[in-house]
Amino acid sequence: MILVLTFLAGALGAVARFVADAELRRRVLPDGPWATVLINVSGSLVLGGLAAWAHRSASGESALAILGTGFCGGYTTFSTASYETMRLIEQRRYTVAVLSGAGGLVLAVAASLLGWAAIAAS
């Protein structure tokens, strides 16, 4: 059952990413990789909090599989971030490539730590 729920949560996460990406690009961040960076950072924040909650909860392991691997895995996208960084390098937009590639990774890890700390402190 966990496998089926993880699959469904992953599908919902992918749809959420698709909608968020489209809306961010249409309304706020039309150029460059910034919508992907924001999506990855927000997903990392949620996953960090979820992991902290799962660490101290009796049902946490199942919830982490379903929501962490499923939803957050479908919502965030390392492969798109990598592809966008590669495209920026091909376009010789090196500063943006470094800022979005390395910067996005640093921000995502920081967001995950922040999510963990926020839930662990509550």
Query: Distance between CA atoms of 108 and 111, rounded to whole angstroms?
Result: 5
- Which residues neighbour 60 within 8 Å (Cβ) at sequence distance 6 or greater? 53, 54
DSSP code of 25?
H
Mark the binding-site residues for Na(+), compressed into ranges.
73, 76
Q: How far apart are CA 16 and CA 77, in angstroms?
A: 12
- Residue from 90, 89, 115 nearest 102 by CA: 89
Residue ranges of the binding site: 73, 76
What ranges in 28-93 are assigned the alpha helix state H? 34-56, 60-63, 73-75, 78-90
